[in-house]
Chains A and B, each alone.
Chain A
Amino acid sequence: MDGRERQAQPRSFAAGQHARPADRQAWNGDVASAARGPGKGLEPRAEPELIAAHAILLSRGGRALLQDVDIEVRRGEIVTLIGPNGAGKTTLVRVLLGILLPNRGEVRRKADLRVGYVPQRLEVDRSIPLTVGRFVALGRRSSSAEIEAVLAEVGAQALLERQLNELSGGELQRVVLARALVRSPELLVLDEPVRGVDYAGEAELYTLIGRLRSERGLGVLLVSHDLHIVMAQSDRVICLNHHVCCSGVPHSVAQHPEYARLFGPQASRAIGLYQHHHDHSHDLAGAPQPAAAPPPGPQEFK
């Protein structure tokens, strides 16, 4: 892997060409598979690809919200997308789901891919009378037995007859997840599913996601602004801040300097490993800047 040459030469970012695939992916030897860019001809993984985006550029009003972003989710794989607020995580999700068209780049989906989507904030207009059961059935035409089963799976069986706009944030989150699951999805996309959910609910949700992956072989794309709890179950973590800052297995991402850059020194201390080291920083507008000087101290990437 050639990712360790990062601070070899100061690069110009003025041309808008920021990170090359090798920089973004191959910074740790034990994530060799993540370094395999599309078309590089390395050995394919065992599990088939569900969805993949390649070289996505999306700009609005002259600002690049996503730049040269690659991401893929395979069957049975949990991919966590992390990044600070405003980093373009939801935008990337919307591109992957086909809601937004990128200016450049391609999105590939498995033919007839069934997606279950849990959007970040679901606010249903109070003018729509909607029971929980009816809401779940909007995901797919289903029998009442199927709806009850899927509500039971997320621990929301008691909510069946309730009006959607009377639910608490945590209850609503479960119900939205039930609607995603009633579709028997191959890919589950959850955008910040733990926002507004208490700690116990959060742990419970992650346990459920882990079980769905192992029992049903779902691919999962999980968007989060917090790595702590997700780490244990994620196969791959992708750090996004308009471009892919770093990616790899959770342990190595936690050690990666870009993770510390994104989440601040507290976050990295909370995880508690690692030497400081950046190959670039971000200015106030979020644009990548070359690091001013090589960091002091040894460069450990283990």
Chain B
Amino acid sequence: MTEPFLMRALLGGMGLALVAAPLGCFVVWRRMAYFGEAVAQSGLIGIAIGLALALNLTASVLVVTLAVSGLLLLLARQNLVPIDTLLGLVAHAALALGVIIASLVQGPQLDLMTFLFGDIFAISRADLRWIYFGGLVTLALEIWLWRPLLAISVHEDLAAAEGVRTPYVKAVFVLLLALVVAIAIKIVGVLLTVAFLIMPAAAARPLSETPEQMAVFAAIFGMLSVALGLFLSVTLDTPGGPSIVLMLAVFFVAAVFPSVLRRR
């Protein structure tokens, strides 16, 4: 288990899990899972454009995810189409556009699977720098914004009346979300990125009494799932990203099951 590619996969995956955990809590609390989904799927457009123009993929994904976040916030101002429909629409349109651009750019031989499901074992040293540099910035902003973000998640008007500058806080949150998605896409792919955000948080919820506990539990579940998923992947030769996501699902079921039984 000491092969360099495996160590990089482990370090990258755990770093991402740590950064994604607190943000994922807010995604769950603010009911933004589908917002994250739409932003993540638009990442494929960024990958395709990045490949075509030979740009840094993380940077080009970040530009596209930010643009799509802005577009979504703009579209949310209309109220004729419900927000979940709108998010589904944007997610599918982005996926379609991403696949089309990719096929135009590289021809049908481009391995779409790599980008849809990620390749955690292909993490390079440069990727690791992105994960840790971007991750540190994200983590610092998350800690700095923790109180105001929590306050607006609990009750936005109340927070605003108490002096929280809600538009700025929300804008930074969306920025962080786009950043984490851009980092995560390389590892778990366009389709599984949001799993890294919402699944650890969901698994942590039944065990938590305070918001801070939930973020810490989510980080622990996320990092454990990375380790166990990679172990599974190496021993059974299963794909890396999906193995991690499956572990997250196992943690969620185990955590939520006692309260399912209690409800009867």
Q: Which residue of B lies closest to A179 (CB)?
A: B158
Indicate if the CB atoms of A129 and B158 lie closer than 8 Å.
Answer: no
Indicate with 1 or 0, residue by residue over A155-170, a CB within 8 angstroms of chain B CB atoms: 0000000010000000
Indicate if the CB atoms of B155 and A129 lie closer than 8 Å.
Answer: no
Interface residue ranges of A97-121 to B (CB < 8 Å): 97-99, 115, 117, 119
Inter-chain contacts of B213 with A (CB < 8 A): 129
Q: Judge whether B157 is part of the interface by a CB distance below 8 angstroms.
A: yes
Q: Judge whether B17 is part of the interface by a CB distance below 8 angstroms.
A: no
Q: Which of B28, B155, B160 contacts A127 (CB 8 A)?
A: B28
Inter-chain contacts of A117 with B (CB < 8 A): 157-158, 161-162
Contacts between the two chains (Cβ within 8 Å), count: 62
Indicate if the CB atoms of B210 and A134 lie closer than 8 Å.
Answer: yes
A124 to B214, CA, bound (A): 16
Indicate if the CB atoms of B157 and A129 lie closer than 8 Å.
Answer: no
Inter-chain contacts of A97 with B (CB < 8 A): 157, 160-161
Given contacts A119-B155, A125-B29, A125-B31, A99 and B160 within 8 Å (CB-CB): yes
Q: How many Å from the CB of A264 to the closest CB on chain B?
A: 30
Inter-chain contacts of A206 with B (CB < 8 A): none
Q: How many Å from the CB of B71 to the closest CB on chain A?
A: 24
A117 to B164, CA, bound (A): 13
Q: Which candidate, B96-104, B146-154, B172-180, B220-228, is the interface stretch facing chain A?
A: B146-154
Q: Which of B147, B162, B163, B210 contacts A130 (CB 8 A)?
A: B210
Q: Which of B151, B157, B205, B214 contacts A138 (CB 8 A)?
A: B151
Indicate if the CB atoms of B31 and A128 lie closer than 8 Å.
Answer: no
Inter-chain contacts of A245 with B (CB < 8 A): none
Q: Judge whether A274 is part of the interface by a CB distance below 8 angstroms.
A: no
How many residues of chain B have a CB within 8 Å of chain A?
23
Q: Which residue of A lies closest to B201 (CB)?
A: A127
Indicate if the CB atoms of B155 and A122 lie closer than 8 Å.
Answer: yes
Q: Which residue of B lies closest to A94 (CB)?
A: B157
Interface residue ranges of B205-251 to A (CB < 8 Å): 205, 208-211, 213-214
Interface residue ranges of A167-223 to B (CB < 8 Å): 176, 179, 183, 189
Q: Which of B161, B163, B210 contacts A129 (CB 8 A)?
A: B210
How many residues of A sit at the interface, in one of the four size bands?
A: 20 to 34
Q: How many Å from the CB of B29 to the closest CB on chain A?
A: 5
A189 to B28, CA, bound (A): 30
Q: Which residue of B lies closest to A185 (CB)?
A: B162
Q: Which of B155, B161, B208 contacts A124 (CB 8 A)?
A: B155
Q: Which residue of A lies closest to B30 (CB)?
A: A125
Indicate if the CB atoms of A138 and B161 lie closer than 8 Å.
Answer: no
Q: How many Å from the CB of A76 to the closest CB on chain B?
A: 21
Q: Which residue of A lies closest to B150 (CB)?
A: A138
Main secondary structure of the interface of A (DSSP, over half): loop
A127 to B163, CA, bound (A): 24
Q: Which residue of A lies closest to B208 (CB)?
A: A129
Interface residue ranges of A126-141 to B (CB < 8 Å): 127-131, 134-135, 138-139
Inter-chain contacts of B155 with A (CB < 8 A): 119, 122, 124
A135 to B154, CA, bound (A): 9
Interface residue ranges of B20-34 to A (CB < 8 Å): 28-29, 31
A122 to B210, CA, bound (A): 18
A129 to B255, CA, bound (A): 15
Indicate if the CB atoms of A138 and B153 lie closer than 8 Å.
Answer: no
Inter-chain contacts of B159 with A (CB < 8 A): 138
A119 to B154, CA, bound (A): 12
Residue with the greatest number of chain B CB neighbours at <10 A, chosen from A94, A115, A127, A129: A129
Q: Which residue of B lies closest to A98 (CB)?
A: B160
Indicate if the CB atoms of A119 and B160 lie closer than 8 Å.
Answer: no
Indicate if the CB atoms of A129 and B162 lie closer than 8 Å.
Answer: no
Q: How many Å from the CB of B28 to the closest CB on chain A?
A: 5
A106 to B210, CA, bound (A): 40
Indicate with 1 or 0, residue by residue over B14-58, a CB within 8 angstroms of chain A CB atoms: 000000000000001101000000000000000000000000000
Interface residues of A (CB under 8 A from B): 94, 97-99, 115, 117, 119, 122, 124-125, 127-131, 134-135, 138-139, 163, 176, 179, 183, 189
What are 5 inter-chain pairs, A to B, with CB distance below 8 A?
A99-B161, A122-B158, A128-B150, A128-B211, A129-B205
Q: Which 7 A-B pairs have the closest CB atoms?
A: A117-B161, A129-B208, A97-B161, A99-B160, A128-B29, A138-B151, A127-B28
